[in-house]
Amino acid sequence: MSTMRGQLRPMASRTPSHFRWDVTESGRVATITLDRPERKNPLTFESYAELRDLFRDLAYAPDIKCVVVRGAGDNFCSGGDVHEIIGPLTRMTMPELLAFTRMTGDLVLAMRRCPQPIVAAVDGICAGAGAIVALAADLRIGTPRARTAYLFTRVGLAGCDMGACTLLPRLIGQGRAAELLYTGRAMTADEGLAWGFFIRLVQPDNLHADALALAGDLASGPTFAHGITKTMLHQEWNMSIDQAIEAEAQAQALCMQTQDFRRAFDAFAAKQKPVFEGD
């Protein structure tokens, strides 16, 4: 007799083809490393698709509780590869172009819909589609040399790419987002911190360790409840205040049925620190 547990797929041993996938010793935190440092880690058709599929599959992964996204070397991601994506796009038909833009948008949807919090560790160049990947993460840590640019207008395109016109204004404000999307100029690290894009700035040598520490803290918390929080943060954009309050009432009642809630109460009563197991 099959069970739902039998449909879950652990992902610690996954071996992607177009980026690195490393998992901590605990098996709870995974790091995606965009690994083409000689070209500032650009994305290709294949890496877009593989990232989309990985984030979709994370919804059914019982082992991974938090994900870090970073770039190899001194940069995060320079966006779509000029030679492997931009050039071919100029020769595609409209149906092919729409299939491509839908695929890139599906990557953002997969990131927003997977229950695991995503921490982007941003160093150096973070541009175009790379800036969208950072934007789609739940939390971003940067370095003082991080430069984040939504470059779409620089190549004759609209700034409304992969959800930029809905995600960026909600994060940094309508006016600031409009300036970046119209001009394509780079947001400095200090601006990103002041505007709420980054939660903090750290030195480059400490970036990955800091991101892993944050991810580890989240992974050791009430991870089922974290998934509910992420869902509510995503879904409540389209709700009235009445709908949001009712949705949160139902969500919190669901979390009150978890063993983590009981563990927290028992630990509080015993004056101990709770140990959460995500159930």
Q: What is the per-residue pLDDT for 4?
A: 62
Q: What is the per-residue pLDDT for 86?
A: 83
Q: What is the per-residue pLDDT for 130?
A: 97
Rounded distance between C-alpha atoms, residue 47 and residue 44, angstroms: 5
Q: Using the 8-state DSSP alphabet, how is residue 185 labeled? A: P
Q: Whole-prediction pTM value?
A: 0.94
Rounded distance between C-alpha atoms, residue 149 and residue 261, angstroms: 42
Q: What is the per-residue pLDDT for 257?
A: 93
Q: Using the 8-state DSSP alphabet, how is residue 67 labeled? A: E
Question: How many other C-beta atoms lie within 10 A of the C-beta of residue 87?
Answer: 10
Q: What is the per-residue pLDDT for 1?
A: 42
pLDDT tens column, 154-211: 888 999 999 999 999 999 999 999 999 999 999 999 999 999 999 999 999 999 999 9
Amino acid at 267: A
Q: What is the per-residue pLDDT for 83?
A: 84
Amino acid at 206: N
Q: What is the per-residue pLDDT for 72?
A: 97
Q: What is the per-residue pLDDT for 74?
A: 97
Rounded distance between C-alpha atoms, residue 85 and residue 100, angstroms: 10
Residue 145 pLDDT > 80: yes
Rounded distance between C-alpha atoms, residue 121 and residue 135, angstroms: 11
* pLDDT averaged over every residue in the chain: 94
DSSP β-bridge partners for residue 77: 126
CB 174 within 8 A of CB 168: no
Residue 278 pLDDT > 90: no
Q: Which of 20-29, 83-92, 140-149 has the lowest mean pLDDT?
A: 83-92
Q: What is the per-residue pLDDT for 279?
A: 87
Selection from 184, 209, 206, 188 nearest residue 197 by Cα: 188
